Amino acid sequence: MHILIIGAGGMIGRKLAAELSRTASLGDRKIDRMTLADVTKPPVPTGDIGFVEAIAADISAPGAAQDLAARRADVIFHLAAIVSGEAERDFEKGYRINMDGTRALFEAIRLEGTRRKYIPRLVFTSSVAVYGAPLPDPIPDDYILAPLTSYGTQKAISELLLADYSRRGFLDGVGIRLPTIVIRPGTPNAAASGFFSGILREPLAGQRSVLPVKETVKHWLASPRSAVAFLIHAAMLDTSALGARRTLNMPGVAATVSDQIAALRRVAGAEAEALIDRTPDEAIEAIIAGWPKSFTPRLATSLGFVAESTVDELIAVYLADDAPKTIP
């Protein structure tokens, strides 16, 4: 089978490509070809897949989505997106990448299918940012989408497009609303949620980190390892269980910032906590205030999606998978 990962240069995309290269299979189907695409040519992981191609492609650019659809991959992972903070700062860029690019991809797949039958499985990464305050805590699976950010709006629109293109039989879509990913390896990104990783990652490495919100802030978290597992599981899912709603809330850990700091202290001591600088940022506080705190993802859980249950587990996954080797 042929796998296409769009957004393969990002952290989750690289990890997904590495895992699929390692197993060279999706369930009981052998992967014999994989195409990795991003705005700049993504890295190619080592593994047992016979043919892996990395290409530079911006799905919002004229003709790019058509070129990708013409490759007729059996499974497409659509991870490409401008992150929340950047989408809020640059309105036009956010809509061009997150909404127009997604629509262009879906439409290119539809048109490819008019030439010769083509109905790929498409796994789309959405976000809990599709919900906006006031919100129940926890949020049930059937709660209304009412985003309060441009990023959340772009993701919500894309979810509706995914459902409609699936309903019409142009593609077989599964959307997954990812929790905020913690702990992200590497350096901070432009996401408003980046501090959720930063207040753990930097102190674990003996570096200072900024906390821009109150310690009472509660949010929904999962590890990069779980995110990759969600994507792979979604690619193999029997979509008849989804009905008309094609996007699922993923399981995760409901934790306050205080819970995160307490877990950091348990793992690395009071000296690590002392590296957190509490510096309020009204812009970030305003964005985060409208985000969900926790979920009851009953449908996803019943379909076999699994995540961590404590912040301690999130830290343990980071230390095992991604932490610099200098961290004990």
In a domain, 72, yes or no: yes
Task: Please say whether the beta carbons of 21 and 52 come within 8 A.
Answer: yes
The pLDDT confidence band at residue 192, using thresholds 50, 70 and 90, is: confident
C-alpha distances out from residue 13 to 44, 54, 160, Å: 11, 12, 23
Res. 190: pLDDT tops 80:
no
What's the pTM? 0.95
Domain containing residue 47: CATH number: 3.40.50.720
In a domain, 319, yes or no: no
In a domain, 95, yes or no: yes
The pLDDT confidence band at residue 290, using thresholds 50, 70 and 90, is: confident
Q: What is the pLDDT of residue 328?
A: 55
The total number of structural domains that make up the chain: 1
Res. 286: pLDDT tops 60:
yes
Of 171-180, 226-235, 288-297, 306-315, where does mean pLDDT reach its minimum? 288-297
The dihedral through the CA atoms of 159, 161, 165, 171 has a sign that is negative
Looking at the annotation, which residues are catalytic?
Answer: 151
Mean of all residue pLDDT scores within the chain: 95
Res. 233: pLDDT tops 60:
yes
Taking only the tens place, the pLDDT of each residue in 144-168 is 999 989 999 999 999 999 999 999 9
In a domain, 63, yes or no: yes
Q: What is the pLDDT of residue 327?
A: 60
Q: What is the pLDDT of residue 254?
A: 98
Q: Where are the beta strands (DSSP E) in 51-110?
A: 51-56, 75-78
Taking only the tens place, the pLDDT of each residue in 221-232 is 999 999 999 999
Q: Which of 202, 246, 214, 249 is nearest to 230 (CA)?
A: 249
- Describe the strand order of the beta sheet including 253-256 as a list of residue ranges: 180-181, 218-222, 253-256
Structural domain harbouring 236? 2-178+224-249
Q: What is the pLDDT of residue 266?
A: 98
Q: Which of 117, 115, 145 is nearest to 131 (CA)?
A: 145
In a domain, 74, yes or no: yes
User: Rounded CA gap, 9 and 19, in Å?
Assistant: 14
Res. 171: pLDDT tops 80:
yes
In a domain, 134, yes or no: yes
- Average pLDDT of span 169-189: 94
Two tokens at 186?
A: 């590497």
Burial letters for 280-308: b for 16+ Cβ neighbours within 10 Å, e otherwise?
eeeebeebbebbbbbbebebbbebebebb
- Average pLDDT of span 60-89: 95
In a domain, 70, yes or no: yes
- Average pLDDT of span 236-263: 97
Task: Please say whether the beta carbons of 76 and 4 come within 8 A.
Answer: yes
User: Rounded CA gap, 250 and 308, in Å?
Assistant: 11
The pLDDT confidence band at residue 48, using thresholds 50, 70 and 90, is: confident
Res. 209: pLDDT tops 90:
yes
- Average pLDDT of span 80-94: 91
- Average pLDDT of span 52-61: 96
In a domain, 22, yes or no: yes
